[in-house]
Amino acid sequence: MNPPETTTLREKLSGTVVTAADPGYDAARAVWNGDIDRRPAVVAECATREDVVTALAFGRDKGLEITVRGGGHSFSGSAVADDGLVIDLGGLRRITVDPDARTAVVGGGALWADVDEATQRHGLATVGGTVSDTGVGGLTLGGGFGWLTAKHGLTIDNLLSAEVVTADGRILRASEAEHPDLFWALRGGGGNFGVVTEFEFRLHRVGLAEVGLFFWTLADAPEAMRFAKDVIASLPSGTGSMLVGLNAPPAPFVPPELHLAPGLALVVAGFDGPERHGLLVERIRSGLPTAFELVTPMPYAELQKLLDPTAPRGILAYEKSLYVASLSEKVIDLIAARLPDKASPTTVLPIVPLQDTFSTVHDDATAFGGPRAPGFVVGMAATAPTPELLAADRVWTRRLWEELLPHSNNHGGYLNFMNEYDEDRVRTAFGAEKYARLAAIKAVYDPDNVFRHNANIRPAG
């Protein structure tokens, strides 16, 4: 935009306005996925909720496409659009913890590393992803899996209220008592309903995590998946777990000859003390022999960073996902057969078990677009340092996804693991009844579909 067009916005905003004419433009438009290279007309770096109202009014008045950036960590790059307005919440990162009430109020621009650090000072935590650099806003609005999901559900199951700037510039508090329809929609319906400037979370006592990481090479992949399936099915209640196809990290606990070796890892995280976890570790050790292992107590905030090396900012990325009711023989055979074909050493295939507390929440309690029954979400996260490797693993991801699709119990997949938001997939993810309810709520709070650069739900009418 021409400088005179942004003069009013610069005068009104307490934060910073950045355009292509400003020296910080490239940094201001950058997002986590280095494969996204979009050039917005304006980036409004908001410092207050009033800044959000001002920026939103400016964007609507100028007829700009409007996007919202919390952490900017989505694979899709939905936080930025060509020639649009980015409402950047990076200045809203304040976190207030009430250790007596066991609650935390979190700014819409905070990262999970911020939340973990602030809450762990009091021995508390809430459910928050598995990569610490992820933004609180995007992960929460899409549902939110984490190491604590088996024990405390999804992130949205621990959301108590949210402050929202709606498309018409109102600032609302959404909770079970206030605007309950909006509150229901925010818990899983994505960024369709407004700009969330503040989240209030329920916290839980979380001390040291007892962590076990067990790695098998590709030669043992089919047997390892079957063994891991049996282990996961009999885990002590509330134990966090993940089965991951990945390359071994070049870490001190990995034998040098296995650095970057492709294989399969089972990660288990216990939160009920070393004795209970020790029995689980011994059971795993007495099963299928591993190539290497890491068994150690770990501060929860460090557990949250365990997978960070697989997702550095600027890496080129593409992702798809789906749900399966079980790791059937066919699913295991397909995954084990395709794992050797991935090209990039950073590409991962996370298989997240959904059980215990997750599946005790009634499906209608939130807008979450996935089955609440026990099962797994299978992610195929292609990440690469070069365009050539990304292109190869994009093909690999799509092929494996298509092969697994007949075995899925929800073809839409998990909103936060989507790269392309085509309407059919979004509708399928939510199901007809839930999508219709969301569309009706969308018509109330965003009838013009201002917030559409997301897993978009069109307003009813």
The pLDDT tens digits along the chain (461 residues) read 777 789 999 999 999 999 999 999 999 999 999 999 999 999 999 999 999 999 999 999 999 999 999 999 999 999 999 999 999 999 999 999 999 999 999 999 999 999 999 999 999 999 999 999 999 999 999 999 999 999 999 999 999 999 999 999 999 999 999 999 999 999 999 999 999 999 999 999 999 999 999 999 999 999 999 999 999 999 999 999 999 999 999 999 999 999 999 999 999 999 998 988 999 999 999 999 999 999 999 999 999 999 998 899 999 999 999 999 999 999 999 999 999 999 999 999 999 999 999 999 999 999 999 889 999 999 999 999 999 999 999 999 999 999 999 999 876 788 888 888 777 888 888 999 999 999 999 999 999 999 999 999 999 98
CB 344 within 8 A of CB 392: yes
At a CB cut-off of 8 Å and minimum separation 6, what does 4 contact? none
List the structure tokens of 374: 């026990």
What class has domain 95-205+431-445? alpha beta
* Equal fold, 95-205+431-445 vs 208-417: no
Instruction: Indicate the Cα dihedral angle 312, 290, 275, 211, nearest 10°.
Output: 0
∠ CA 36-40-46 to the nearest 5 degrees? 105
Q: 208-417: which CATH architecture?
A: 3-Layer(aba) Sandwich (3.40)
Please identify which residue in the block is written with the tokens 């070069």: 386
What is the per-residue burial (b if ≥16 Cβ within 10 Å, else e) of 174-209? Answer: bbeeebeebbbbbbbbbbbbbbbbbbbbbbbebebb
CA distance 385 to 317: 9
Instruction: Classify domain 6-88 by CATH number.
Output: 3.30.43.10
- Own/partner pairs, 337-340, CB within 8 angstroms, 24+ separation: 338/396, 338/399, 338/400, 338/403, 339/218, 339/221, 339/245, 339/262, 339/264, 340/218, 340/262
Q: What is the pLDDT of residue 411?
A: 64
- Measured CA to CA in angstroms, residue 369 lies from 182, 399, 417 at distances of 16, 23, 12
Where does residue 156 rank: exposed (0-12), middle (13-18), buried (19+ CB within 10 A)?
buried
Q: What is the pLDDT of residue 3?
A: 73
Q: CB 380: neighbour CB atoms within 10 A?
A: 29
Q: Domain ranges in the chain?
A: 6-88, 95-205+431-445, 208-417
CA distance 96 to 163: 14
Q: CB 71: neighbour CB atoms within 10 A?
A: 28
What is the per-residue burial (b if ≥16 Cβ within 10 Å, else e) of 210-243? Answer: bbbbbbbbeebbbebbebbbebbeebeebbbbbb
